[in-house]
Structure 1
Amino acid sequence: MTAYELDHLAIAVPSWRAPTEYLVEHLGGMWKHGFEMPEFNPCQLSFAEDMRIELLAPGSDESSFIGRYLAAGGGRPRPHHITFKVKDVEETILAVRNNGFEPIQLRLDNEVWREGFLHPKDTGLGFLVQFVEATEDPGELASSDPFKSGGLSWLPAATGAPVGIPFLFGRLPAWGSAPRVLVDILGAEMVEVERGDGWSTSRFSWNQGADLLLTTHPGQSGVHGVEAMGRLDGGEWSDAGCRALVDENALVDVLGVKVVSVP
């Protein structure tokens, strides 16, 4: 197994403020870190069992890739990538190539954060895949985080404990290469949870972090990618009927995904 954790979902947003306020007020998110850079401004909030949501805002550079990504989607927030933690990034790169893919944006020169990506056009997943071998949390890689003290005067106080985010949910027009990427390369356990009426839904899980529920239907057009994330205030969750739960919920505009409350 190359990946041991689905670590976080990264969402491109015009600015941190509105989505951060939602994540704190409605889900009990706890601020972890944030940085401003020319290329992009990333910040992370943590939830139960240290599941993360990362917000990526445009940087100061006019050519910021997040700015371009948002513009391509009409300026609206939308998922950008999912990050998987791996034990050995070079082993993962070998698995990627042995399965007929070529990783992009390899950065292997930082001994505490070594990463690569898989493009959605290659995988058919509808989202960018980031795989990372990390020995430290990103918040510890900078000498100081200006937003940890006094830099976020608008940040609301959390009113409750962080909720769990047990799953991310996405749709695909067909399975294609998705199982090969998630199982053969990233080491997920795949279990089919629903098949009927033309739909096929499977659950992909790792030892840590959220599970990924993907559903396909031959009548769908295009690749939808990540559509929802599930919240859990306590107890246990089941993936039965998850697609129906997602269908019943409305999009959270400031996040670009649905937030599904699991009973």
Structure 2
Amino acid sequence: MPGTRFDHIAIGVRALTDAAPVLAGVLGGVPDQGRPSGGFRWGTWRYANGGSLEAIEPLGADGFLHRFLAQRGPGIHHVTFKVVSIEAACARARARGYEIVGRDDSDPCWKEAFLHPRQALGIVVQLAEAHPYPAPPPSEPPPGAAGAPPALAVLGLRLSARSRERAHAQWGAVLEGELERERARELVYRWGDSPMRVSVEVDPARAEGPLAIEVAGARTPALPPGSHPALGTVFVYRSA
């Protein structure tokens, strides 16, 4: 049976229309799926290697995403891992001292729980046990971009951690990532057939959290050298 899978990286934005010019127009992502979900709307774009980026925009007058944007502005909000059993995944997390928040088993086709960024190395981690819907809900894919270039590959997410032990407890022990490569201050984790990876820079003096989304391809995208002003996210290009 397949194990835990790194599913997507999510970026909090004020409007999905802010994300499309970058995720589709620059990176070449193909609009995939989307729909409203409570106090937010989500949309995903698919990339050359099968990687997936999601943007989430707030709906209504108040909610977690309104607070996130008010406090921090647009930026990387969470990563989602699909697990075989939400119960087993939560048990692994609790066994290593993590508090489970937002556990919701009300939908038998999408059971979810979260690790809070205060404990989870500066990023929200969504755990999801997903099963096919008997009648899939209607999808509302996000916007594309006229004349979008060929899709790049999304290699994954680069983050920081204060120690190897903290990184491995989360990405290895709780989320069952395979340590593909280890250097003096870098750990790289992969998950089975998932096209994306998590790369961790170990630095005891640095704040923990996401650093950049890494992309690759045969063409060099027009990206700013630092954080993208509309998405609050750094994109790092690696040549193919």
Q: Same-fold call, TM > 0.5?
A: yes
Does structure 1 residue 184 correspond to structure 2 residue 184?
Answer: no
Task: State the distance in 2 between where 1:252 and 1:49 align.
Answer: 23
Please say if residues 9 and 78 of structure 2, whose CA atoms lie closer than 8 Å, have aligned partners that are also in contact: yes
Deviation at 1:175, TM superposition (A): 4.1
Question: How many residues are matched?
Answer: 233
Task: State the distance in 1 between where 2:55 and 2:116 align.
Answer: 19
In the alignment, structure 2 segments of 5+ residues that lack a partner are 219-223
Aligned to 1:233: 217
Does structure 1 residue 136 correspond to structure 2 residue 132?
Answer: yes
Matches of residues 7-22 of structure 1 in structure 2 within 5 Å? Answer: 7-22=7-22
Task: State the distance in 2 between where 1:219 and 1:102 align.
Answer: 25
Q: CA 1:37–1:93 in structure 2 vs 1: closer, same or farther (change >3 Å)?
A: closer
Please say if residues 167 and 200 of structure 2, whose CA atoms lie closer than 8 Å, have aligned partners that are also in contact: no
Does structure 1 residue 126 correspond to structure 2 residue 126?
Answer: no
Letter in 2 for 1:122: Q
Does structure 1 residue 163 correspond to structure 2 residue 152?
Answer: yes
Task: State the distance in 2 between where 1:49 and 1:191 align.
Answer: 18
Letter in 1 for 2:225: N
Does structure 1 residue 193 correspond to structure 2 residue 182?
Answer: yes
Task: State the distance in 2 between where 1:111 and 1:92 align.
Answer: 16
Letter in 1 for 2:30: M
Aligned to 2:66: 67
Deviation at 1:37, TM superposition (A): 4.8
Task: State the distance in 1 between where 2:42 and 2:162 align.
Answer: 31
Does structure 1 residue 109 correspond to structure 2 residue 85?
Answer: no
Letter in 2 for 1:69: F
Task: State the distance in 1 between where 2:118 and 2:33 align.
Answer: 31
Letter in 2 for 1:93: C
Please say if residues 19 and 255 of structure 1, whose CA atoms lie closer than 8 Å, have aligned partners that are also in contact: yes
Task: State the distance in 1 between where 2:95 and 2:69 align.
Answer: 33
Task: State the distance in 2 between where 1:172 and 1:187 align.
Answer: 17
TM-score normalized with structure 2 length = 0.87
Letter in 2 for 1:42: W
Q: CA 1:2–1:253 in structure 2 vs 1: closer, same or farther (change >3 Å)?
A: farther
Task: State the distance in 2 between where 1:4 and 1:121 align.
Answer: 22
Aligned to 1:206: 191
Aligned to 2:34: 34
Provide, for residues 177-228 of structure 1, a one-character-per-residue CA deviation record: whole Å limited to 9, x for no partner: 3311211111111245332xxxx111111111311001022332x32x1121
Please say if residues 5 and 209 of structure 1, whose CA atoms lie closer than 8 Å, have aligned partners that are also in contact: no
Task: State the distance in 1 between where 2:213 and 2:107 align.
Answer: 31
Structure with the larger helix share: 1
Deviation at 1:23, TM superposition (A): 1.0
Deviation at 1:7, TM superposition (A): 0.8
Does structure 1 residue 88 correspond to structure 2 residue 73?
Answer: no
Letter in 2 for 1:136: P
Q: Secondary structure at the match of 1:122?
A: coil
In the alignment, structure 1 segments of 5+ residues that lack a partner are 235-247
Deviation at 1:229, TM superposition (A): 1.2
Q: Secondary structure at the match of 2:41?
A: strand
Task: State the distance in 2 between where 1:172 and 1:202 align.
Answer: 10
Provide, for residues 95-152 of structure 1, a one-character-per-residue CA deviation record: whole Å limited to 9, x for no partner: 12222223111111212111111112123x1101111111238xx742x23x45xx95
